[in-house]
Structure 1
Amino acid sequence: MTDNVVSGNNFLRTIVTEDIASGRLSGELVTRFPPEPNGFLHIGHAKSICLNFGLAEQFGGRCHLRFDDTNPAKEEQAYIDAIQEDIRWLGFEWSGPIRYASDYFDTLFEYAVHLIRNGNAYVCDLSADEAREYRGTLTEPGKNSPYRERSVEENLALFSDMKEGVFDEGHCVLRAKIDMAAPNINLRDPIIYRIRKVSHHQTADKWCIYPTYDFTHGQSDALEGITHSICTLEFEDHRPLYEWFIANLPVPAQPKQYEFARLNVNYTVTSKRKLKMLVDEKVVDGWDDPRMPTIAGMRRRGFTPASLKRFCEMVGVARSEGVVDVAMLEHAIRDDLDKNAPRAMCVMEPLKIVITNYPSEKVEWLTAPGHPNRDDLAERSLPFSREVFIERDDFREEANKKFKRLVLGKKVRLRNAYVLLAESVVKDADGNVVEVHCTYDDASHGADPADGVKPKGVIHWVSASHGKRATVRLYDRLFSHESPDRGGEEFLDHVNPDSLRVLEGCWIEPSLADALPEASFQFERTGYFVADRVEHRSDAPVFNRSIALRDTWNGGQ
């Protein structure tokens, strides 16, 4: 049971509880997650996954994975594979085999014939522009199509011709005959079949007509015995149509649709079309780019399943739309990694330190805790040598009292090592410091220096002789505007130019080179990083920043 997923505010859990108590739900709860295989899943889908699978687990029911594959022109097997991987990575497993809407194409065709025979569907030859004109507006009723009163026999013949490929794409469609004056525009004779002469990834060239989503998903739910069909609020106005089809077809079950507020996060775009645009226009490096709000992207950035589930719990499940602050997601990630990520050291902007009184050939192995609060994470060994690297920003020739790092004539402690005293510098022809010469107190490891003068601060370091070179990618938010999605295609104007900074020639503890892909660490004093799941190798380590130690975002200012 995933208690951490379903323990927060969740009105749907209350509905299920009441349905069980009233006897409306007498058997097991059956939910479904029905993604379209036309892109990668994003953070909003993560909420839906946690909701549908979480409810099924809590109430001892089942959750089906069903691909809504009714538009083969935009669908790919690669998306199907990625979606399965995302669900399993989040820690869920669907009940039974993978299902496809295309599994029911034969039955759906017969259902369409059933509607025609009962006078509830007709073949319409209106062009797309004409159909829009006849449909009416939100304030004006539509007009009946001139083809609406075709006989049952004529409609059956025309629909058969559609199926046999007699007509070109766009020549005609099959529409449900409901009410062109209905206040709900979705009931104004909606299209239920259209001609698409495209090969399908599951059914190949068997069909040249495909059912619409509105016609497909309710009947698929009924055929699978779904008890609670859960979708986002934009489908609320489609529910009367969902129920009309269920009422007018010989379906084996009576599922009920419930809507919840989709997950909207600021500084984020979740439109699949816009995400695909980011990929196609190479604004990002693919669907799994760590800046993308896709599950694959977040995984590659080092976000964890536990942190995403925790975030979904914090957000809750409500009926009203709202926007969640991305800082809530970042807090969930940071909190999980703080508790679980082993500690390590990485120097990103290296400055060489030469310890002049340390023997040139000597190397000693110091120990450091794997985690300050986790005894189960083993200590790590740190090689210490005459030359080490520190961060360039951790040294100044002169500084005020607020600077708690290395200053000429002052002392600082190397974390888990010795106290240094900075004595002189070496500069290049341009006057830049390239080396700092220091002395160390050999009695200061694990204690105050022998002279009793305490160092001003503690800084991290890596041995110059034993450390490993690495590439570090510093990721930040992809968009600099709080609401990038509101400006149509102009959302690209809000791409943060500093969303990725690549640092070559960083120095890491030697053991980090052998880290497994997707292993996370806190680089001390810097942030949380993950070994890239695609490119990290022991001979060419690559680490991605997951999140800073604290919120350093300045809104792009």
Structure 2
Amino acid sequence: MTDEKPSNFIRDIIDEELAAGKHSQVVTRFPPEPNGFLHIGHAFAIGVSYGIAQDYKGRFHLRFDDTNPAKEETKYVEAIKEDLKWLGADWGENLFFTSDYFQQLFDWACLLIEEGKAYVDDLTPEQMREYRGSLTEPGKNSPFRDRSAEENLELFKQMANGDFDEGQKVLRAKIDMAHPNMNMRDPVLYRILKAHHHRTGDKWKIYPSYDFAHGQGDAIEGITHSLCSLEFEYHRPLYNWFIENLPVPHTPRQIEFARLNVEYIVTSKRKLLQLVNENHVHGWDDPRMPTVAGLRRRGYTPDAIKEFCERAGVAKRERVNEYALLEYCLRQDLEDKAIRRMAVLDPLKVVIENFPEETEYYEGPNHPADEGRGVRKVPLTREIYIERDDFMEDPPKKFFRLGPGREVRLRYACYITCTDVIKDADGNILELRATFDPESRGGSTPDGRKVKGTIHWVSATDNVEIEARHYEQLFTKADPDDIEEGQTFLDNLNPESETTLRCFGEPELANAQAEEPIQFERKGYYVLDTDSKDGNLVFNRSVGLRDSWGKKQGK
């Protein structure tokens, strides 16, 4: 191995096999279905398989499991490739599609038929379920199970020619209808599907099942370790049966690990698709979605996701990770990466009555811990905005921000003292009046007096107007599937998961770049959204400076 990595059971297995001389090179793969966008669970799986290949100086394959053309689209293929590149997974020249192997899989299916190990079945889907039995009752043989190899082969070729309707016939493996593992009770190998395929067009009228195509694709590509989630553990005997009963060029080994589960998140592709199709979110890349595209748009970084996945760890048992850990990993990553800017999200105007008419400029560091990242000029004018909650008319003793007669430091600039509070007829505060100490320019005074409060601010006349989008969890419950009778997971949607503020930022925010992390000082981490155009600046809050969500939930 090239470096020290925390050991886990997968690495232990690989170490033993390499020591025994079973492999000369470790080869892993990631086999997504191109019927949706990748989510954070996929990012975890990619990290496991790609990380293993990297650490053992092996090879990593990206193979699209495109065996269901009715649900697959080229746009998903391209989105998945983009996500993998962004996450840092490099498949090099090893890009494959299961459709590359359709002819070989068909030939192998014919071989199973010829050897009496597969047959064409005419049972309806409902009848197949009835004949299959249950976990406590054995299944029973189909009345079509004993057709001759010659008849089965002819029928199978007719299926391939499109001579039968969808659902009229299937090809099944002939294994054991009394097997305790339900997956071994004569599973379906091929079904009729007359849909246009995004790569092969209308050439095929039949398509292989995932179970039949998956292991054989691994064998064709020389995959040594087929790493997958625990849900495929009970499919492993079938995976091995195909490998043992076909003349495959290699013998891969399937190893299962616990998938990544996170509080307040659903990773079921069916449910994610439902959220998109029913317009509960604005698309696959909605910043509230757990998709890689959504996380990226919200301002997550590949490093933060990788750190979270490594902290979650590879395990044999399912567990649920705290959402706070995901936010912590992002917050730690952005602390070093994010440049600093000031923005006022809930503005209250302050008129500094003795301030000069001319604009003054003060220097603010782009990052307080890194002088090499330089400074930017921040304009201070007679009228400024401060955060409304940075002022209290009757402040308690330990409130160190602005109040009547109180003095605070404007970050990077000077000291001001509140002299008057202007209200409307209903008693609502409209604006404040203040004075500043000319000798406090730069944030200190010759007499060395100290003030306990420092607040951020933005010029009311020299700024950029921005739209700040704030996000909470998409679901109100840690387990979105925790529902009562008659409900669905949609009943746990959080109606306050997205809020929008029109606010003001310092002029330098107009130069923000895509995917450039920015800390709005004292408020949180933000990133420029893809909706920004024609001078309309939209920023998504990636994460707060503290775990505000955990506090809201009483953690």
TM-score by length of 1: 0.96
1:424 corresponds to = 420
CA contact (8 A) 1:441 1:450 kept: no
Q: Given the alignment, which residue of 339, 342, 347 partners 2:344? A: 347
Q: CA deviation at 1:446?
A: 3.7
Indicate yes or no: 2:290 matched with 1:290: no
Conserved? CA contact 2:416–2:434, under 8 Å: yes
Q: 1:173 aligns with which of 167, 170, 173?
A: 170
Q: CA separation in 2, counterparts of 1:458 and 1:478?
A: 34
Instruction: Kindly indicate whether residue 373 of structure 2 is the aligned counterpart of residue 384 of structure 1.
Output: no
The Cα of 1:40 is off from its aligned counterpart by 0.5
Question: Could you say if the C-alpha distance between residues 8 and 462 of structure 1 is closer, same or farther in structure 2, counting changes exceeding 3 Å?
Answer: farther
Which residue of structure 1 aligns with residue 480 of structure 2?
A: 484
1:493 corresponds in structure 2 to 491
Deviations 1:149-185 (A, max 9, x none): 0000110111011011111000010000000011111
**Counterpart contact for 1:514–1:537, Cα < 8 Å:** no
Q: Which residue of 2 aligns with 1:226?
A: 223
Aligned-pair CA distance for 1:455: 2.5
Code of the aligned partner of 1:544:
N
Aligned-partner Cα distance in 2 for 1:154–1:85: 47
Give 1:540's aligned residue: 536
1:129 to 118, 121, 126: 126
The residue aligned with 1:455 is 451
Q: Distance in 2 between matches of 1:8 and 1:511?
A: 43
Instruction: Tell which deviates more after alignment, 75-84 or 447-456.
Output: 447-456
Mapped partners of 2:129, 2:187: distance in 1: 11
SS in 2 for 1:46: helix
Runs ≥4 in structure 1, deviation > 6 angstroms? none
Q: Report 1:53-452 matches (<5 A).
A: 53-360=50-357, 362-449=358-445
Alpha-carbon distance in 2 for matches of 1:213, 1:230: 15
What are structure 1's unaligned runs of at least 5 residues?
Answer: none
Cα distance between partner residues in 2 of 1:107 and 1:186:
23
- Could you tell me which residue of structure 2 aligns to residue 15 of structure 1? 13
Q: Give the whole-Å Cα distance in 2 for the aligned partners of 1:375 and 1:45.
A: 38
Q: Distance in 2 between matches of 1:88 and 1:10?
A: 26
Contact 2:415 2:443 in 1 (8 A): no
Structure 1 counterpart SS, 2:371: coil
Deviation at 1:452? Answer: 5.7
Q: Aligned pair count?
A: 551
Paired letter, 1:376: G
In 1, the alpha carbon distance for the partners of 2:465 and 2:7 equals: 47
| One-letter amino acid of the structure 2 residue matched with residue 255 of structure 1 | P
Distance verdict in 2 for CA 1:483–1:302, change over 3 Å: same
What do residues 212-256 of structure 1 show as CA deviations (whole Å, max 9, x unaligned)? 000000000000010111110000110010000011111111111
User: Could you say which residue in structure 2 is the equivalent of 1:514?
Assistant: 511
**Residues 526-537 of structure 1: pairs in structure 2 closer than 5 A:** 526-532=523-529, 534-537=530-533
One-letter amino acid of the structure 1 residue matched with residue 104 of structure 2: T
CA–CA distance in structure 2, aligned partners of residues 335 and 408 of structure 1: 37
SS in 2 for 1:507: strand
Q: 1:17, CA displacement in angstroms?
A: 1.9
1:347–1:508 contact (8 Å) kept in structure 2: yes
**AA partner of residue 362 (structure 2):** L
SS in 1 for 2:212: helix
Alpha-carbon distance in structure 2 between the residues aligned to 1:377 and 1:56: 36
Give the whole-Å Cα distance in 1 for the aligned partners of 2:28 and 2:322. Answer: 29
In structure 2, distance between residues paired with 1:555 and 1:548 = 13
Match status 1:503 vs 2:504: no
Question: How large is the RMSD of aligned CA atoms in angstroms?
Answer: 1.6
1:110 is paired with a residue of what secondary structure? helix
Residue-by-residue CA offset, 1:338-374 (whole Å, 9 max, x unaligned): 12111111101111111111112x1121111111212
Unpaired stretches in structure 2, ≥5 consecutive residues: none
